[in-house]
Amino acid sequence: MSATAERIRAAGTLRRNRMPRAEIRAVLGADDPEMVRRYLELHRERLEEQLAAHRRELDALACSLTEHLETRGRRTERGRRRRCPDLGRTAEVG
């Protein structure tokens, strides 16, 4: 694959993974492989944090919805109530 084709492919992958444009430019323009690794690791950590936040929100939603059903007389498969985590006000994740 040519260097130009590789850069186009890399830019598309980074955009699909929602890396900020300034960081994409920095990665594609970097001369130091360690700098490329650092940017990619930073973005990977950012994505993992966002995923964890989304999972917490979905867990809280599932708990809230099932708790609502249980208060109407329906029970879970095991027939006991689960304790919902107190997550406070959930923040919007972007």
pLDDT in the model for residue 79: 54
- Distance between CA atoms of residues 5 and 91, nearest Å: 39
Regarding pTM above 0.85, the answer is no
Token pair 């699909």: residue = 16
The answer on pLDDT for 88 being more than 70 is no
Query: ∠ CA(58), CA(65), CA(72), 5° rounding?
Result: 170
pLDDT score of 82: 58
What is the average per-residue pLDDT within 66-70? 80
What is d(CA 6, CA 78) in angstroms, rounded to the nearest whole number?
A: 53
